[in-house]
Copies of this chain bind each other. A is one copy, B any other.
């Protein structure tokens, strides 16, 4: 396999840094090729702005259109082009990050905002009576897999079905479905470490063991079965899920899972 790890933590000696280092070691020992985008070490620019689009930045700036024109001309900034090339090189993408305020840190969101440009990650494919662009099951990154590896400060019960923060699968849905599945990546079930703020040494060993297990089964793990957009489940162009496809009583994000 060819694996890209995008890593977003400011402290190399953190749990996140350790999980990233361990992933590199385990995957390389298993004969895979690994590249790492260590966003803090790269001093990654987080804010998308006109400078990203060079001569294609119009005035007033149009983020989608200008980014798409710069992409098509091959004139996005070198840092963004490098990340797009890594995504096209990889067959598997791992995002390693701490859950800060219920989502990814700003530096990683800025990687998404700047790298997932129009014509690369969205605005891909034709619109017709049966297709609403290539996304959610199709797209530039189709055929590849993605995995979130997330550390969470609070205990698991706070993120359970009745937990005060909301279910972890719902908190991660906008990332897993909205960011990763959108441009075509198949998303594996997330690897989540709870109670990360106070991880006892014996629990750390168990976490590392579980992480190795996930890393060594990347190729055989079943992805989350999100519904594909253009294959009959949704009305086009309203993109409503057709009535009757879900189990009785199911609502919310989970509607978009096949069963």
Interface residues of A (CB under 8 A from B): 10-14, 39-40, 44, 46-50, 60-64, 98, 100-107, 109-110, 112-113, 116, 136, 153, 155, 157-158, 160-167, 170-171, 173-174, 177-179, 197, 229, 234, 237-241, 249, 251-256
Contacts and interface: CB of A to CB of B under 8 A. Distances in A.
Nearest to A254: B252
A46 B106 contact: yes
Contacts of A234: 164
A239 B167 CA distance: 12
Given A109-B109, A164-B229, A170 B252 contact: yes
Given A61-B14, A153-B64, A164-B241, A102 B179 contact: yes
B49 A40 contact: yes
Contact of A13 (B60, B100, B173, B255): B60
Given A101-B116, A166-B174, A10 B61 contact: yes
Copies of this chain, count? 2
B179 A164 contact: no
Given A164-B229, A174-B174, 9 more contacts: A47-B105, A47-B106, A64-B197, A101-B112, A106-B106, A106-B110, A106-B113, A109-B109, A252-B254
A228 to B, nearest CB: 10
B103 A103 contact: yes
Contacts of A164: 136, 229, 234, 239-241, 256
B178 A165 contact: yes
A107 B109 CA distance: 9
A11 B178 contact: no
B113 A253 contact: no
A39 B46 CA distance: 12
Given A46-B46, A49-B40, A11 B101 contact: no
A61 B162 CA distance: 33
A256 B136 CA distance: 29
Nearest to A45: B46
B116 A109 contact: no
Given A105-B109, A164-B136, A157 B46 contact: no
Contact of A166 (B60, B158, B163, B177): B177
A97 to B, nearest CB: 12
Contacts of A50: 10-11
Nearest to A108: B106
